[in-house]
Every structure is written in structure tokens, then in C-alpha cells.
Structure 1
Amino acid sequence: MANHKSALKRIRRNEAVRLRNRYQHKTTRNAIKKLRNETDKKKAEALLPSVVSMIDKLAKRNIIHGNKASNLKGKLMRQVAGL
């Protein structure tokens, strides 16, 4: 158990941040799945910018690696272009 006041605060804060990161990552994964399952090109093109933005935010906050974000975006864009 932590002995310092600052360490106790850090434990609380880390848990809050962990839960927020988990929520954002799960939400983005669901959005990616929704985009991958989309068969209508118009709807997919409308959905793509918001999904790309979500992926960029995850990479900026180091929730996912930058290269993984690039790979995801590239694959999604290729899929939407091929519809």
C-alpha cells in the first residue's frame, strides 16, 4: 500500500485514466468493425473521416502505436475505395 498522499492520488488517477483509455479504445474498435461491415459506398465514405479521427486520437494519446494507427487507416481507406 502507498504511504504518501501523492502516491495515493496517483493510484486513483491511474485507474481513472485506464478506464477512459479502455472506453475510447473499445469505442474505436466498434466503429472500425461497423465500417468494415458496411457495404454501401456512400455510407462508408461518410463514416470514414470520423473513424480515422478516432484512430488518430488513440495514437496521439499513446493508447495504440503510431504505426498500428497508420496500418489501420490504410487498410480502411483501401477497403472503402474498393467498394
Structure 2
Amino acid sequence: MSADLSTIDDAVRDNLSRVLSKPVDPADFDPDRDLAEGYGLTSMQKVMFLMSACDDTGVALETFTEPDVAAMKTLRDVTDALAGAVAG
């Protein structure tokens, strides 16, 4: 997968859209909205979302510590974390 930020952002948006109970178009996500409070993302959904986003971007989920994952509260947080991991 290409490591450019746009491609990572697209993958993150698509994967988030797939796990939410209420449908949201990937283009409609606010990158700074809290995923749990703003979109109702549960802890189980967050795990599924991060697993699939990591798979799609070629990043091992094990790259992130528990505190890293806990700090991923917004779409921007997730995108930035994955972009940083891809960049090495």
C-alpha cells in the first residue's frame, strides 16, 4: 500500500464506516470528532476498526501499545498514528 496520507485517511474512513452501527458516509466524518462520543464507537468496534485499518495500511497492530490505542480518540489521531507507523 502507498504510504501517502490521503491513502491512509481513505482506508481509515472506510474501515470506520464499516464498523459503526449507524451508517455514516466515509466522506462525512469530522476528523476531530470523538469516535466514542460523537459516533458511538464501542470498545469492541474500536478493536475491529483498528485491526482492519492496520491490515489495509500494512501496519502491525502490535506496533501500538495499549496507551497508544487509548490515545486514538479521533479519526485524525488514528490517521496520524498509522501514518507515523508507515513512515517508520
The TM-score with structure 1 as length reference comes to 0.31
Larger radius of gyration: 1
Report which structure shows greater RCO (CA 8 Å, sep ≥6): 2
The TM-score with structure 2 as length reference comes to 0.30
